[in-house]
A and B are shown apart, each in its own frame.
Chain A
Amino acid sequence: MALKAEAFEVGRQLIEDFPQDPEAMALMASVCNQYDQTAEAVTWWQKCLERNPRHAGAYHGLGTVALTKGENEKAAELWRKAQEADPDLPGAYRGCAVALLLSGNPDQAIVELEKEMKLSPGRREDYVLLGQAHLQLQAYEKAVENYEKAIAIRPDPTACYGLATAYARLGRHDKAAEYRARFEQVEAKQDRLFGAGDRTADNRAVAVQILIRTHAGAGRMYYARGRLEQAERHGRRVAALDPKDQASRQVLVDLYTRAGRAQEALEMCRQLQEIDPANPTYHLNAGFVLGRLGQFDAAEEAVWKGIRLAPAQPTGYRALVQVLLLANRHLSQAGAAARKLVELEPTAGNLTLLGEVYLRTGDLAGARAALKQACELEPGNETLRKAYERLQPGE
């Protein structure tokens, strides 16, 4: 109950702080909808659309409510409006497809799903839905094809069941039996995971997830509108609610770094490194922050960890160059890293960084050559041109 009240309080505060802002209304609508207060959710989304008639998220939300109420045709129409407002909105084509499937139009659902898959290819649930659509159209070979793609990503009961069904219809009884057995295995595993009583929506985990989404959304809103204190508060709440949440911690790293609060940024970096030690970005971020704090040995160590995790990515070499320039040491190593960086990603920015290393080591010709190349890549960049001119003899 307290979690629900907190989520609504976040929404209420957002509305108070940004009374005319459609994003605040959309967030409030989302809170209401997640707590099954659909009438109030619809009211907020409609208000949102009054302010911004092309708010794709509001149409998306209204589509969800319509679907919940079994108003499938209306839901499909709302998702089509969402698509018009934002053709790149993730899930809008999928939502429409689900509504069309539920209303008995699998052929139209396939068209929508194909659009969704162009937008975000390789999602398991889209293959499953395609499988279902083809199954209903009695296109069993195509159903098999899509279900197979789904379980190649991750075996789930729906896809296994779909395959068992499609193979049975095709008369391939051995394959049907094989997938029935797999279905039973996966289903049994899910039953164990859920356990007694946990399938009801009243469990705390669901309420916590809603609250996390609410705080995260509010944090993003405040951050985008320059209200950093509130953004930080929401980010910290998300981090406290979910010890594994990475998005909120990344925002906090960014926020603290911009605010010059390097120690707090470092703490967030350390948490991210612990949560996902295989993510090179977190080590590179930590290296950058450590450099700001003057802890150059630790900074270099963190950056090298990042490079070792993704040796073909330019970001690690860029971070190393930056840290070494900041430390003003190991400049030959910085030069090698900068050259590797340019080799991997020959952009004007990276060439400028290489030029900076050359300058620090007194290689003026090298710096000139790097800047010249950068100017050629971005001929309209005045800042670059002036920097290059300053390196000319006599300047």
Chain B
Amino acid sequence: MGLLAVCAGPGVAGECPIQLRDVTRETGITFVHTDGSSGRRYMFEPMSAGVALFDYDGDGDTDIYFLNGAPLKGTSVDVPPTNALYRNEGGFRFTDVTREAGVGDTGYGLGVAVGDYDNDGRLDLYLNNYGPNVLYRNNGDGTFTDVTRQAGVANGNEVGAGANFLDIDKDGRLDLFVSNYIAWSYDSHIVHNRTGHSVYSGPRDYPKNRNALYRNNGDGTFTDVTADSGIGAHEGAGMGTVCGDYDNDGDTDIIVGNDDWGNSLFRNDGAGRFDEVGLAAGIAYDLAGGAQSSMGVACADYDNDGWLDFHVTSYQHELATLYRNLGNGLFEDVTRVSRAQAGTLPHVTWGNGFADFDNDGDRDLFIACGHLQDNVELYDDSTSYHARNLVLMNTGDGKFVNVSDQCGDGLAVKASSRGAGFDDLDNDGRIDVVILNSRREPTILRNESPRGNHWIQILLRGAKTNRDGVGAHVTVVAGDLAQLDEVHSGQGYQSHYGLRLHFGLGRRDRVDRIEVRWVGGGTDVVENVAVDQRLMIVEGANPRALGPKP
């Protein structure tokens, strides 16, 4: 199908069915990211950070938490920068509630995950920093308490990356996976020179590191099971991570994108012990056997075949890679044949996510771009530090088409983007986008795609299993369309989004069946469901409508 034909979908003739508008200035968000740099080029400065989208106050709309850098050695500031929490007031207006919520961590923020680790019905926040990490327990009154010390999850003094809550042993409690980057210190710090220009060093300049896994003891504390679980047997340079049941065996596996080393796929034996099978599964390396400089890892069933696929962003001159799950434990790099490579080669690509922006029943791809080297244009004019992000529209036949030039002014923004999150910020049934840009204000994209297609959003409430259904598989069947999704805590580029599942349905005006397979629990089935609504499915109980049509 040609681009013109694709862009003559529902809505205005000839207009791309995906329309994303830059509404940053209208949101009231004043956050500006800093990487704490002072010209010394500490190697993780340009990694910048992720962003978390979650409903911290349980009021039914999605709030935004931005990570921030911190002054590094040689930098002095009067007021240290902090992370920032913005409460969603509705109508795309946000209020900075960082101080009152008590989540203004001044550590060097890199990665974030959200999960209700104590199953009290409130979403807690884990920050993966350079330096000690932080666990904020949600008090349920709009405030958080730093419980890192009592929980035992500070994770030393590592250079952090992605993080995820997941239930490794199906005991109904969320455990914690912490991705660590390389073993870096101020003493081992080096800078490279590129034709007379000072440039940041790379992951191969430093020793690899191992990731960490903490088992939830159920009493507010965690036990480090890195060694016992098998996770510690493998080193890498972990960046983005996602946890997903890739082999459909009912437990949650872990996928880690490693920077310039093969990606890791930790297969769960169901009891919380993991084997690393990335190479054998075909997801460690790209089609050519190349270890990519993996950045973000996103997960979804893009081809609606009932198996979770993975998308991994990477460095300039590498393709952001789409791994199709073949369903037999193997993955196929379909980047080229699916056209998912479009636009990625000249850029460093970071935040990523599958989202059905046009609600047509298949998931599109959003890719955040921007070079790592802030002076790259001085020695390489084929790329740029500030770059436009990419939207690849799923054409429903296993292929994508780059519609970035046709889908609104939101994609005209040039920044050096990093983490990205995807959720319906205004509860209008369309997935919006939040992008953390390195060294500047974020970009908020409002989805203004033409209405007409139907959708359904599903929020899970575990009873015996973990409270938010993290790891649960949800299958939505509407007529000839069957879609699978999974609840994730932490994904993309060191970011968090996706506790609320969103399914585009195209013109189908009734959902025939929703099946929820809980991690460590049974399966619930709901039938004959109205479309265009947000629905809460409670484990073992009747579903509850959360909201009328917007």
Q: Which residues of A contact B (CB under 8 A)?
A: 1, 4, 35-39, 65, 68-70, 101-104, 106, 128, 132, 135-136, 157-158, 160-162, 164-165, 168-169, 176-177, 180, 183-184, 187, 194, 196-202, 207
Contacts and interface: CB of A to CB of B under 8 A. Distances in A.
9 contacts: A38-B381, A65-B382, A68-B382, A69-B345, A164-B279, A197-B204, A197-B205, A200-B199, A200-B202
B338 interface: yes
Nearest to B344: A70
Nearest to A137: B337
B80 interface: no
Interface residues of B, number: 41
A196 B381 contact: no
A168 B338 CA distance: 21
Contacts of B196: 1, 4
A132 B285 CA distance: 14
B382 A69 contact: yes
B382 A168 contact: no
Interface string B147-183: 0000000000000000000000000000000000000
Closest CB pairs A-B (n = 7)? A161-B289, A70-B345, A36-B380, A1-B196, A202-B194, A104-B336, A197-B205
Interface string B496-536: 00000000000000000000000000000000000000000
Contacts of B193: 202
B109 interface: no
B249 to A, nearest CB: 19
A37 B192 CA distance: 20
Given A180-B280, A196-B204, A197-B205, A160 B317 contact: no
Interface in B396-434: 399
Contact of A132 (B204, B287, B380): B287
B113 to A, nearest CB: 31
Contacts, number: 103
Contacts of A35: 195, 379
Contacts of B280: 168, 176-177, 180
Interface string B248-291: 00000000000010000000000000000001101001011111
A135 to B, nearest CB: 7
A161 B346 CA distance: 25
Nearest to B205: A197
Contacts of B192: 197, 200, 202
Interface in B287-323: 287-291, 317, 319
A104 B338 contact: yes
Nearest to B279: A180
A118 B205 CA distance: 42
**Per DSSP, are chain B's interface residues mostly helix, strand or loop, or mixed?**
loop
Interface string B326-356: 0000101000111101111110000000000
A136 B289 CA distance: 14
Nearest to B377: A36
Interface of B: 190, 192-196, 199, 201-202, 204-206, 260, 279-280, 282, 285, 287-291, 317, 319, 330, 332, 336-339, 341-346, 379-382, 399
B381 A39 contact: yes
A202 B260 CA distance: 17
Given A102-B336, A202-B194, A162 B202 contact: no
B381 A202 contact: no
Given A36-B382, A201-B194, A106 B337 contact: yes
B275 to A, nearest CB: 14
A37 B289 contact: no
A102 B337 CA distance: 8
Nearest to A128: B288
A197 B195 contact: no
A178 to B, nearest CB: 12
A103 B380 CA distance: 23
A329 B205 CA distance: 65
Interface centre among B195, B206, B280, B290, by most chain A C-beta atoms within 10 angstroms, is B195
A161 B288 contact: yes
Contacts of B279: 164, 180, 183-184
B401 to A, nearest CB: 11
Nearest to A40: B381
A184 B278 CA distance: 12
A82 B70 CA distance: 52
B289 A158 contact: yes
B289 A160 contact: yes
Given A65-B382, A132-B288, A168 B330 contact: yes
A101 B336 contact: yes
Given A104-B399, A177-B280, A187-B291, 4 more contacts: A35-B379, A68-B346, A104-B338, A132-B287
